[in-house]
Amino acid sequence: MSHPSYPMPLYAHAGRGRFEDVYEPAEDSFLFIDALERDAEELQGLSPSVCLEVGSGSGVVSAFLASVVGSSALYLCTDVNSLAASCTATTATCNDVALQPVITDLVQCLLPRLCGKVDVLLFNPPYVVTPSEELLSNQGLFYLVTIVENFPEEIIRLLGEGGLTGGPCLSRRAHNERLSVLRFHRTPLSRALAS
């Protein structure tokens, strides 16, 4: 099915100048954005209230999501790097979207308040770790970028044990890496138990 294409957010400030130590959008970020663009209609249909990107770096992925979903959602963007939080704020301004940067380890300072409330959860981790599946709302979607060396099948199995069903939604070879975006939702049984 064809869908409108959404512009790539502006991010020329990322990875240079005062944001030199902030992750500059790369193939993994672009694959992530492509996966969200492919799911644009579904994401809009979800009418998310809370979107959370863990490790937002430049903020370009959340800026893209915000341009697809619209201004009715809250976009929380965590990062351990305070410069990434500033860069995310700058990306928001440059792209006329509202993103809320939070400096924290993974989701630590948000976890108690966000359990079961996150409708769209985004993560492109620098190492194998997944944020708590308890964050996801009953209708929520969790997108996770992996490389082959992260053993995506093992991640799918482990998250399955935690009540999430999912699999690859988009894959691409970039240089010598095989990148995949995995997409998860709550399994019906875990939905019933959570509500």
Cβ proximity to ligand SAM, 73 vs 106, nearer residue: 106
Q: How far is the CB of 49 from ligand SAM (least distance, A)?
A: 21
- Is 55 among the residues that bind ligand SAM (CB under 6 A)? yes
Q: Are the beta carbons of 182 and 122 closer than 8 angstroms?
A: no
Q: Is the CB of 23 or the CB of 136 nearer to ligand SAM? A: 23
Would you tell me the crossing angle of helices 27-38 and 60-69 to the nearest 10 degrees? Answer: 10
Using CB under 6 A, which of the segments 1-9, 79-87, 132-140, 182-190 binds ligand SAM?
Answer: 79-87
Which residue bears the tokens 């082959």? 148
Q: Which of 25, 24, 77 is nearest to 53 (CA)?
A: 77
Cα dihedral 114, 117, 119, 123 in deg (nearest 10):
20
**Smallest distance from ligand SAM to CB 191, Å:** 27
Q: Which residues inside 98-127 make contact with ligand SAM, applying CB under 6 A?
A: 105-106, 124, 126
**Residue where the block lists tokens 């985004």:** 122
Which residues 117-176 are close enough to bind ligand SAM by CB under 6 A? Answer: 124, 126
